[in-house]
Chains A and B, each alone.
Chain A
Amino acid sequence: MFNGYVITIAVFVGIWVSLALSLNILVGYAGQISLGHAAFFGIGAYTSAVMTVRYGQSFWAGLLAAILITGIVGAILGLPSLRVRHDFLVLATMGVNFVVVAVFKYVDFFGGAMGIVNLPAPSLFGVSFRGGALYMALVWLYAGFVLLISWYLSKTWAGLALNTVRIDEDAAAAVGVSVPRFKIYAFAISAALAGGAGSFYAHFIGSVFPDTFAFVESIAILSMVIIGGVGTLRGPIFGAILLKSAPEFLRFAQDYRFTIYGALLVLMMLFQPSGLLGDDSWLWTLGKRIFRRPAASMQAEEAS
C-alpha cells in the first residue's frame, strides 16, 4: 500500500497542510491577507539548505534554524502591516514575495537560478529517513505540531486578541489589545511554521530552486485556506488535501490547475465566502444536521 508514489503524495500533502494551517493563523485568526506566504516557505527551505550544504550542519539544526530565522524575518516583514491595511497589505506582501525570490535568484550565495543541490536526508541514531515511510511520518508529525499550535493559539488570550484585531482594529485598540504587537506575533508564528515546512520540503526533494517559491505558490496556498474554510482548523487541512491531491487523480486537474484554483476562488466568494467547510457553509451545516446526536436535537426542539 505504501509504495513510493503514494508516499510522495502523502509527503507533499502533509507539507501543504502545514503551509495552509500556518497561513490560516495570519489570514484566519489575525485577518491579515498575505500573498507572500511562499516567500516564508522559501526562506525556510533556503535556510535549511544553506545550513546543511554550506555549513555542514545536520538536518535537525537546519530545521531549527529554518523555523527561527523565518520567524524573525516574518516579524520584520510584518512591519508594513502596521502601517497599511487590506489591499495595500496585499500589494506589500506580493512585493515581499518578488523581492525574496529575486534575492534567491541573483545572489550567488544562494546559488542563483541553479539553486542549491545535494541536501542530506535527515537521520536519527543512524537511521536514515530518505524518501521512505519514515519521512512521511516525520512530515505528518510536523503537520500535527502545526495543528496543535493553531488549536492552542485559538484557545488562548492571544488567540482572542487576534480575533478582535481581525474583526475591528480600532475597537481592539480601544479595549486594550496592542494591535501592533499581536499583528507581529501572527506574522512571526505564521512565518516560522511555514519555514519549518520549507525545511521538510527542501530535504525531501534534495534541492531548492528560486522559482518553486514564486508568487503563484502563494496564491495556491491562499486558495487552500480560502476554499477549505478560513479561520477554522478543519478548513485549511481539507483545502490542502483536496487541492494538492486532486491533480494526482485527475489528469484534467493537472493541466488546468490554476484555472481551477481561480474559478474555485471566484465561485467561493460568490456563493460561499466562508469556504467549503466554514462555520456557516451549507456542507458543514448539513454534516452537523446529519451527525447531530438525537439527544442534542431533542434539547434543541425543547428549547425552541
Chain B
Amino acid sequence: MPFLQNLSNALVLASTYVLMAAGLTMVYGVLKVLHIAHAAVYTIGAFIGLLVFSWLGNFWLALLVAMIGSGIVGVIIYRTTYYYMLDAPRIVPLITSIGLFVMLTDLLQKGFLMGPYQRAFPAGGAGMPRIRTSFISITPKQMLVLVVTIVLMTLVYLLLTRTRIGLGWQAASMDRDMAAAVGVNLNRVVALNFFLGSALAGAGGVLVGVYNNSVFATMGDLVSYKAFIIIVLGGMGSLPGVIVASVLLAIVENFMVAWVGYVLPRDAIAFLVLILMLMFRPHGLLGKE
C-alpha cells in the first residue's frame, strides 16, 4: 500500500484511540484514578447510539443522545463510587474500577441488554463525501470518523482553555487541594470531567460501531487496553500527549503490519511496548519527572 494511504488509515485508527484515551487521561489528571471501567462506558455509548439510530434513523441525533447518555453514565459512576474514595488509599478506587468494569461488561452480555452477539450499525458514512485522487482514497466512513473526532477535540480544547470551568479543571489537574483552596468548585469540575470524558468515549463507541458496522458487548475491551498504553505513552493526565501517542501507536501498528508482517498478534506487541515503556520511560514520551 502507498505511504499516504497507510498514513490516512492510521489517522482514522488514531482518532478512535484519541476519543477513548482522552476521557481516561482526564480522569487520571484530576482524580489520579485509573478508570478501567471507561471501556464499559464506551460500549454503552455505542449501544445507546445503535438503539436511537434504529429507532429514528438519524445518525447525528443518535451520536448526540449517545454522548449525553454515556456522559450521564460516567457521572453516575463517579457519584456512586469514586466520589466516596477521593481520600482513600489508591488501591481502593483502583479495585473499584476493576470491579465496575467486570460487572458492567458481564451485564452488557446478558440477553436483556445486548446479548452475546454482534449487531450491525448500518449508518454508512452519514452523508460524508468520498475523497478519491490518484494517490489517496478516503471513504465516507473514514471521513466521518476523522471529522467528528477533530470537531469534538477542538470543542473540548476550547472548553478547557477558554471557559471559567475549564480553567478550574486545569487548576484541579495540577493540584486538587490547592484548586479547592482558591475557590474552584471541585465537585462541579470533577463531574464535568467525567461527563466530558465519558461523552467522548461514547462518541468513540458510536463511531467505531458505524465504522466496523458492528456493536457488541466486549467491543470496549481491546480499545481500552490500547488506551492504557496510550495514556502511559502520553504521560498520564496530558491531553496533547494522548493525541501524539494515539497517532504514534496507530502509525506503528499500521506500518508494522504493512512492512514487517505478522510476528505476534498486534495486541501482544502493544503490551510488550507498554511493559518496556513502563520500565524505561515510566513518565511517558512527553511526560515530566
User: Judging by beta carbons under 8 Å apart, are B85 and A269 in contact?
Assistant: yes
User: Judging by beta carbons under 8 Å apart, are B103 and A92 in contact?
Assistant: no
Which of A88, A219, A270 is in CB contact (< 8 Å) with B84?
A270
User: Judging by beta carbons under 8 Å apart, are B102 and A258 in contact?
Assistant: yes
User: Judging by beta carbons under 8 Å apart, are B279 and A33 in contact?
Assistant: no
Return B257 CB to nearest CB of chain A, in Å.
Answer: 15
Residues in A neighbouring B88, C-beta threshold 8 A: 269, 273
A102 vs B92: C-alpha distance when bound (angstroms)? 30
Which B residue's beta carbon lies closest to that of A101? Answer: B268
A91-B228, A98-B225, A259-B107 are known contacts. Are A86 and B84 too (CB-CB below 8 A)? no
Q: Is B274 at the interface (CB under 8 A from chain A)?
A: yes
Contact with A along B93-114 (1 / 0, CB 8 A): 1111011111111110010000
A95-B274, A265-B96 are known contacts. Are A86 and B103 too (CB-CB below 8 A)? no
A102 vs B275: C-alpha distance when bound (angstroms)? 15
A98 vs B280: C-alpha distance when bound (angstroms)? 20
Return B44 CB to nearest CB of chain A, in Å.
Answer: 15
Residues in A neighbouring B268, C-beta threshold 8 A: 98-99, 102-103, 106
Residues in A neighbouring B28, C-beta threshold 8 A: 87
Interface majority SS (helix, strand, loop, mixed), chain A: helix
A265-B95, A265-B96, A269-B92 are known contacts. Are A83 and B228 too (CB-CB below 8 A)? no
User: Judging by beta carbons under 8 Å apart, are B81 and A270 in contact?
Assistant: yes
User: Judging by beta carbons under 8 Å apart, are A83 and B279 in contact?
Assistant: yes
A68 vs B94: C-alpha distance when bound (angstroms)? 31
Interface majority SS (helix, strand, loop, mixed), chain B: helix
A83-B279, A266-B81 are known contacts. Are A91 and B232 too (CB-CB below 8 A)? yes
Which of A35, A95, A266 is in CB contact (< 8 Å) with B275?
A95
User: Judging by beta carbons under 8 Å apart, are A222 and B98 in contact?
Assistant: yes
Which of B96, B102, B110, B282 is in CB contact (< 8 Å) with A269?
B96
Q: Is B178 at the interface (CB under 8 A from chain A)?
A: no
Q: Is A96 at the interface (CB under 8 A from chain B)?
A: yes
Residues in A neighbouring B56, C-beta threshold 8 A: none
Which A residue's beta carbon lies closest to that of B274? Answer: A95
Return A262 CB to nearest CB of chain B, in Å.
Answer: 3
A231 vs B228: C-alpha distance when bound (angstroms)? 28
User: Judging by beta carbons under 8 Å apart, are B232 and A88 in contact?
Assistant: yes
Binding site for B on A (CB under 8 A): 31, 33, 35, 79-80, 83-84, 86-88, 90-92, 94-96, 98-99, 102-103, 105-106, 216, 219, 222-223, 226, 255-259, 261-266, 268-270, 273
Taking A80-B279, A95-B275 as known contacts, 16 extra A-B pairs with beta carbons closer than 8 A to each other, sorted by chain A number, are A79-B279, A86-B90, A91-B229, A92-B275, A92-B278, A94-B225, A105-B265, A216-B102, A258-B103, A259-B102, A259-B103, A262-B100, A262-B103, A265-B102, A269-B81, A269-B96
